[in-house]
Amino acid sequence: NAGVTQTPKFRVLKTGQSMTLLCAQDMNHEYMYWYRQDPGMGLRLIHYSVGEGTTAKGEVPDGYNVSRLKKQNFLLGLESAAPSQTSVYFCATHQGSNSPLHFGNGTRLTVT
């Protein structure tokens, strides 16, 4: 999916380490989202942004922070990683609630 790019694709962290996941979109969309996907849990919303400079909490925000300094980028930070944050993280973007989400290919994070 050339429209939404996530980096890195894979990462292994030790408990307590920090990292930042980057999502970049070239679709000029206002709305961007970070979801995590866990077996049997579907996708759960972590944080989202309705425009440059704005962020809001989703269903499961604890342990994560986000920033949207530029319209095309949405960063997800883990300040002190925990094993419970082992998951696949997806970034998504769209024009509004009546338009489909465009997803990145995901980042697989393992915290040991």
Partner 1 sequence: AQSVTQLDSQVPVFEEAPVELRCNYSSSVSVYLFWYVQYPNQGLQLLLKYLSGSTLVKGINGFEAEFNKSQTSFHLRKPSVHISDTAEYFCAVSESNQAGTALIFGKGTTLSVSS
Angle (nearest 5°) at CA 75 between 71 and 79: 155
H-only helix segments in 5-79: none
| Residue 84: CB minimum distance to partner 1, A | 18
Q: Given candidates 21, 24, 31, 64, which one binds partner 1 under the rule CB under 8 A?
A: 31
| Residue 64: CB minimum distance to partner 1, A | 15
Cβ neighbour number for residue 84 with a 10 Å cutoff: 10
In angstroms, what is the C-alpha Rg of the chain? 13
The residue behind tokens 């579907």 is 42
Compute φ and ψ for 53, nearest 5 degrees. 85, 0
Element (DSSP H or E) covering residue 73? strand 73-78
* Contact between 100 and partner 1 per CB under 8 A: yes
| Residue 99: CB minimum distance to partner 1, A | 9
Stretch that binds partner 1, among 16-24, 36-44, 69-77, 79-87 (CB under 8 A): 36-44
Nearer to partner 1, 62 or 97 (CB): 97
- Binding site residues, partner 1, CB under 8 A: 1, 30-31, 33, 35, 40-45, 48, 50, 58-59, 90, 92, 96-98, 100-101, 103-106
